[in-house]
A and B are shown apart, each in its own frame.
Chain A
Amino acid sequence: MTRQKARDYLLSTISILLVLAVWEAGVRLFRLPIHLVPSPALVLAATIEHWPSLLSQSVWTIMAMLAGFLTAIVVAIPLAMLIVVSPVLERLIYPPMVATQSIPKIALAPLFIVWFGFGMTPKVAVAFLIAFFPVVVDTIVGLRSIDPAMIQLARSMGAPPHRIFLKLRFPNALPSVFGGLKVASALAVVGTLTGEFIGSDRGLGYLLLQATGMLQTPLLFATLVTLSLLAMAFFFLVEGVERLLIPWHVSQRHQR
């Protein structure tokens, strides 16, 4: 098991090094100008040079992203529960929800700027809107996926509906909920960045536009790398929480 793991890590490292090597070789071979594609070494140099500003801008992006993501969870999961519990609420909530989702969230960003100004709020709002939908949908799927015979069994044990929901339906839905959360974690990054693109004087999205405007392509790449590291860290954080909360599912998934 551990040897297998060590081998997996080794292979991933090799594959990343290979990509970097091809990149470096390509830049040298085709003599690509710096403002188009800087070499990995130059990107690293730019990362080190701009580290303080990369770090301080990341803080803004992370805060907006987390705020949007957490709001999405807090709103989406109870909403999904209501939809599953009551057919009337489902009819009431579902159509407007799907209608909002059909508007591209990026198109809403300018409106949010008008409403909320240039601060953090419009970024949080876009991140929330874009992250929210997969959590609702996957939570609903999870809550509905229980075997009807299981509910029958619980009723024969005299369990009242709230206990069936809390001890059966909800834990049973968690794997699906986390599926939605993982998608949402990636989308929250996209939403935040969109907000920052439309109007901002802070954050990695702002830095990206600055670097582009000044044709500082190495900085642009350094920002991209930072962004992808950030998004990955966020994803693995969600997966870590999943491992903690539903180890039974995670271990099962890896076995099959």
Chain B
Amino acid sequence: MRGEGSVARAEAHRQRSGAAANFIEVGGVSKVYSARDGNSTLAVENVTLDIRSGEFVSLVGQSGCGKSTLLSIIAGLIEPTQGQIRIDGQVVTRPYTNIGIVFQSDLLLDWRSVLGNVLFQFEMRGEDPRPFEKRARSLVASVGLDGFEKKHPFELSGGMRQRVSLCRALVHDPPLLLMDEPFGALDALTREQLQVDLQRIWQQSRKTVVFVTHSIAEAVFLSDRVVVMTPRPGRIREVLAIDLPRPRDLDVRESQAFNQYVRRVSRLFQEMGVIR
């Protein structure tokens, strides 16, 4: 059983590495996109970043600053033009599969139920999904979708759909979760609820999360560290450690410390001319 194996491996990894070890090493990564007309665009420039195991790191930047590209490079879905990614000590040369990914679009399959969409994770891996059904059900229930297991995506709201998408990314219990503006398309209230839910899930499972967003408040609220990126080409402008006690509830956003972090990031964007 590969499924049980990967879970066991993840567990072993957690014990081996502890909280302090670097889980992801982004080493001098650059990405140049060459267009057919001969023009080339430098999307990401010389990014070096270490992410510890169990850490929640956000990449914040303007639209088009290459933060999504960087995420795809970490996932092994895009090859960097320069530099390399190491995850768990291994150089990433092809799509890294011990991973869960959530995109801005929920990417649910219209023809499958909620449960079927979550279990799709195993089918794509060529594993028998049946042994994982119980886990999938409890995961679905844990994000408040109890009783919706048999529903189809078109019967759900945007927030519910994104929850299903999150369950699909977690059901095989990967040590690493990559999220690319996952709440960007949701209304403000749903967005806040999902931020709270995500924090709770992260605290329980202690996965390493790399989270891309253009919302400063969202990044500060969720993260251990916020990586502020420059406009294209995307470079790291500054990395801010967010020292706010956990678990954070939504009230933390009223606190002085929280707002100082937000102002600092905001000021960085002003200095870069992103906010005028």
Contacts and interface: CB of A to CB of B under 8 A. Distances in A.
Contact of A248 (B97, B103, B111, B121): B111
B210 to A, nearest CB: 13
30 contacts: A147-B107, A149-B103, A149-B105, A152-B75, A152-B77, A152-B101, A153-B101, A156-B75, A156-B77, A156-B95, A157-B121, A157-B124, A158-B97, A158-B126, A159-B124, A159-B126, A160-B126, A163-B124, A167-B123, A167-B124, A171-B109, A171-B111, A246-B111, A248-B111, A248-B112, A248-B152, A249-B110, A249-B111, A251-B154, A252-B154
Contact of B125 (A159, A168, A249): A159
Given A248-B154, A251-B154, A157 B105 contact: no
Interface of A: 147, 149-150, 152-160, 163-164, 167-168, 171-172, 246, 248-249, 251-252, 255
B99 interface: yes
A156 B101 contact: yes
A150 B111 contact: no
A62 to B, nearest CB: 32
B148 interface: no
A158 B72 contact: no
A249 B154 CA distance: 9
A246 B152 CA distance: 12
A150 B103 CA distance: 9
B132 interface: no
A167 B72 CA distance: 23
B111 A155 contact: no
Given A157-B97, A171-B111, A248-B111, A152 B123 contact: no
B258 interface: no
A246 B126 CA distance: 24
Interface of B: 72, 75-77, 95-97, 99, 101, 103, 105, 107, 109-112, 120-121, 123-126, 152, 154
Nearest to B75: A156
B124 A248 contact: no
Contact of B124 (A149, A154, A246, A251): A154
Contacts of B152: 248, 251
Contacts of A156: 75-77, 95-97, 99, 101
Contacts of B95: 155-156, 158
Which secondary structure dominates chain B's binding surface? loop
Nearest to B77: A152
Contacts of B96: 156
A164 B95 CA distance: 14
A152 B69 CA distance: 12
Contacts of B121: 157
Contacts of A154: 124
A147 B105 contact: yes
Nearest to A154: B124
A154 B126 CA distance: 11
A21 to B, nearest CB: 42
Contacts of B105: 147, 149
Nearest to B2: A158
A255 B75 contact: no
**10 closest Cβ pairs, A-B complex:** A157-B124, A158-B97, A159-B124, A248-B111, A155-B95, A252-B154, A150-B107, A156-B95, A149-B103, A152-B77
Nearest to B108: A150
Contacts of B112: 248
Contacts of B123: 167
A155 B107 CA distance: 14
A152 B126 CA distance: 17
Contacts of B126: 158-160, 163
A179 to B, nearest CB: 15
Nearest to A159: B124
A210 B76 CA distance: 70
B124 A255 contact: no
Nearest to B107: A150
Given A156-B96, A163-B124, 11 more contacts: A147-B105, A149-B103, A149-B105, A152-B72, A153-B103, A156-B76, A157-B125, A158-B95, A159-B125, A249-B111, A255-B154
